Every structure is written in C-alpha cells, then in structure tokens.
Amino acid sequence: MKNDIKVVIIGGGIGGAATALALQKKGIQAHLYEQASALTEIGAGIVLHSPAVDLLYKWEVGNVLEEVGIPIKTMEVYTEQGQFVSSLDLLTNGAQKELEATVYLDESDSTSKLKQRFIHRAHLLDMLLSPLSSEYIHLNHKCESIFEYEDYVEIHFTNGEIVQADAVIAANGIHSNTRKMFSEDEPIYSGLHAIRMVLTREATKHIAKENSTVTYQDAKTHALALITHVKDGTAIDTTFLTEDPSWILELEKEDILSQIGHFDEGFVRLFDEIEYPIKSRALYYRKPIDRWSTKRITLLGDAAHAMMPSLGQGANSAIQDAGAIANAFSNFNTVAEALQHYENERRPITTAIQNGSSDYKKFVFVK
C-alpha cells in the first residue's frame, strides 16, 4: 500500500501509541487522537514478554527498554502468610532455549539474556511516544462518531473538529464507543478490585527481590499481591474480591486491612507507607466478539479484547496487534485487505487469551 495513506488512531494508550510507532517504522505517519489533555499511564508495572520485547527492538526502542525495564530472572510464589509455594527460574526452564537464541543481548551478563522485563507503565508509554513527532498527536480530541463511505472515513470529535482518513484504528480502551459498531456487549465485572502503587526500594527492601517477581496469594479469598522492582522504585499490585462493582473506590487503611490484614506482616507493613484515601480500580473484562473490522475501521488493544490481567497479556497483546496491523498495511494493496488480514491473524490468538484469562480463579494456587 502507498505510504501516503492517511491513518487515524483513536486513543493514546499503550495500544494506540504502539500502533503509531509501528506504522511510522513502515513509513506511514498516522495521526493519533486522544480525548485527554495529556498522555499518561497511571498504575504500577507490567511484565513484557518475548514477542512484545522483540517488537520493541524492531521499532528501535530496545535501548530505552534496557534502561527502564528490569530483567526478570525468577517468578516466586508464596501463600498469603509467606510460605514458599514455587519458583520459576526463567534461565533454566523451557524459556532457556528461546533466551539463548537472543542475539542482541550481552553474553557476559546472565541477566542480559533475559527478555522478560518488568516496566512501569508510564515508562513504557513514554518509550513508545518519544520517537513520534508532536504534529501527529492531537490531545483534547474525543471521538464522537465515525461515518464510513466507499472511499474514505469521516471522524467527528466532540470539540467540533471533523477529520477525513483512509482508515481508522480504534484503540480506545475497554469503554470504546467504536466497539458498538460490532457488538452491543458491556464490560463484565470480575468481582475483583486492584490497588496499584509504587513505593521506594528502601521501603520494600524486606520483601522485594532483585530481578524477580514476588507473588503472595490467598487461595480462599483470591486476594493477591505482586511485588516487583521498576526503575527507581518497587511496584505493588494488590487485588481483592468485593461485591462493589464501582469503577473506582476510595479506600481508607482499615478498608484495605479488612481485605489483606491477614497477609504476611512484611507485606501488610507496606500499607503504612502511603497516604489515604487510596483509589482501587475495578477489574472488568469483555468476552470475545466475532468481528472487529469493516472495510476501513478496525479495533485494537482493549477496545477489541479487554481481558483480565491474570495472564498478564493485555498490554502485550496490544503491542502485538500494533506489529500485526503495521505489517498488514505494508503487505496488502487495499485498506480492506489489510484490516481483514490483521483481524484474521490476531483475533483467534486474543480470543484464546481472553478465554484463558477470564478463568482467573484457577490461577490462584490451592493450599
């Protein structure tokens, strides 16, 4: 396809930013429209797995990843009381062959062989956005509606602006209004809320481990805590069951202790370090749908396949969607062919991950 096609991306989260970068690397300058007045990511960190890491190197931001991403060597699991359950060594298990095949990392340092990296979400978003020119990023643009014609699409924003393009990629998250073109489904409440925070390394030195994720899990209440170093700090993700489906809850310390007060004292102590009230976010997900694309409009990232974080694949999948759609745009002659190919490649994979991750209770270890 010619590089001068006009592509509009709706949404400047990890999926939209990755797509803008992937297209730029193929010589296509996409315009990214975000409803918010700034591009930021809240919350703590995420694990980037090999396929997403490979793409980041391909998009020439691997050097930044090495600066801000922490290599993960082991994944340790404990009961909520701190009894050891299991430890997965990523250098000695099945992952090793794949890791040894990595050619771009320093052979003299064993941790440099590790592809899996834990990264603060804000650092990941910055990494994806920094190679993009500001003239292609449009803040304060909330997409209201999209009209599709034979030869073009017209995007209407709530600020009154109207933009025409050859193709629209809607990366506008779990609440995507574009998804309504394909399904009337609503997000499903999982029964869980998540608190995400970053503390200093000093405050977490008794519990966090170098190059390792540390997870505490309560098989009875499904409460879970994930503790991992990020650059200049330690990310702590805590999830707990509650019947309250509000998207955001404001919690006092006693609310939190009623959920995780029975956890290992070293973990509970972390909640002395923060200011109250603190917000928790409800975990919602969606079921897979049969179609994402028309001839000129498609969905990407959470807009297409919002999933539970139990397999740690939401952002990873959005990054891989970005790689797939950029390849499709450069390999096919028409927008319709490219979008269909992208959907055919990605939808079966993300459907399997969505189905697996919605069975999240089975990932809680039984004592």
Which residues bind to ligand FAD, rule: CB under 6 A? 10-16, 33-36, 46-47, 142-143, 171-173, 177, 194, 196, 237, 283, 301-302, 309, 312-316, 318
| Chain CA centroid to CA 66, Å | 18
Q: In the complex, what is the shortest distance from the CB of residue 173 to ligand FAD, in angstroms, rounded to a whole number?
A: 3
Q: In the complex, what is the shortest distance from the CB of residue 149 to ligand FAD, in angstroms, rounded to a whole number?
A: 20
Instruction: Please tell me the distance from the alpha carbon of residue 310 to that of residue 321, in angstroms, as a whole number.
Output: 19
| Chain CA centroid to CA 69, Å | 15
> Burial level of 29, CB count in 10 A (0-12/13-18/19+)?
middle
Q: In the complex, what is the shortest distance from the CB of residue 295 to ligand FAD, in angstroms, rounded to a whole number?
A: 21
**SS3 category, 64:** helix
Q: In the complex, what is the shortest distance from the CB of residue 28 to ligand FAD, in angstroms, rounded to a whole number?
A: 19
Among 153, 158, 129, 155, residue whose Cα is nearest residue 141: 158
Is beta strand 70-71 parallel, antiparallel or unpaired with respect to 74-79? unpaired
- 């797939």: which residue's tokens? 324
Q: Which is nearer to ligand FAD, 140 or 294 (CB)?
A: 140
Instruction: Please tell me the distance from the alpha carbon of residue 150 to that of residue 254, in angstroms, as a whole number.
Output: 58
Q: Which is nearer to ligand FAD, 120 or 341 (CB)?
A: 120
**Hey, which residues does 217 pair with through a beta bridge?**
79, 224
Q: Which is nearer to ligand FAD, 242 or 316 (CB)?
A: 316
Q: In the complex, what is the shortest distance from the CB of residue 254 to ligand FAD, in angstroms, rounded to a whole number?
A: 22
Q: How many residues does the chain have?
A: 367
Q: In the complex, what is the shortest distance from the CB of residue 333 to ligand FAD, in angstroms, rounded to a whole number?
A: 28
Q: Which is nearer to ligand FAD, 238 or 340 (CB)?
A: 238
Q: Which is nearer to ligand FAD, 142 or 295 (CB)?
A: 142
Contact status, residue 119 vs residue 70, Cβ threshold 8 Å: yes
Among 226, 39, 242, residue whose Cα is nearest residue 127: 39
Q: Which is nearer to ligand FAD, 20 or 99 (CB)?
A: 20
